[in-house]
Amino acid sequence: MTASKKTAVAVLALMGAALGSAALAERGMGGMGGHDGRGPMMLEMFDTIDADKDGKITQDELAAHRAAEFAAADTNGDGALSAEELQAKMLAEMLARRSAQMIENMDDDGNGSLSVEEMGEGPMAEHFARIDTDNDGAISKEEAQAVAERMGKRREGRRHMMGHDDN
């Protein structure tokens, strides 16, 4: 496939995602399973695409948004998205969603950011006593490795039960 055809396919895929997102947002749906938190994200995307902020998305606005999204993802400027560029774009989008969700869930004072207190102690502090198996008030590297191994075995057990063996 030529670079221009690959570009066209990528642009069409981005257009489909944008149109699908706008349609889901209009219906108030967060995805296939119902209200899973993506509805507000879809509306934010709508507002981003609506460049003149008239509450409507035109074909020109959609095309401009697709072009800007593509250009931002095409970090080497070659007119095509490599697997690495797509991965970086997807990772950035996932991190943005998760960060926004963390703030939404943990921002007790509603200021749009998280303080040390709002972040909490974290999983290591919450499970300190269980990790500190010799009860000496400190976690040794060996104790941390033992926890990591137990978690890895549990994860492998779940993968095996779900039929995701890599062998």
Q: What is the pLDDT of residues 111-130, one digit of tens each?
A: 999 999 998 887 778 788 88
- Amino acid identity, position 106: M
What's the alpha-carbon Rg for the chain, to the nearest Å?
Answer: 22
pTM > 0.75: no
CB burial of 110-123 (b: ≥16 within 10 Å; e: otherwise) equals: eeeebeeeeeeeee
The pLDDT value given to residue 54: 94
Query: What pLDDT is attached to residue 156?
Result: 81
Q: In the chain, what percentage of residues exceed pLDDT 70?
A: 72
22 touches 46 (CB < 8 A): yes
Task: Give the residues of the chain that fall short of pLDDT 70.
Answer: 1-42, 164-167
* pLDDT at site 7: 54
Predicted pLDDT at 5: 53
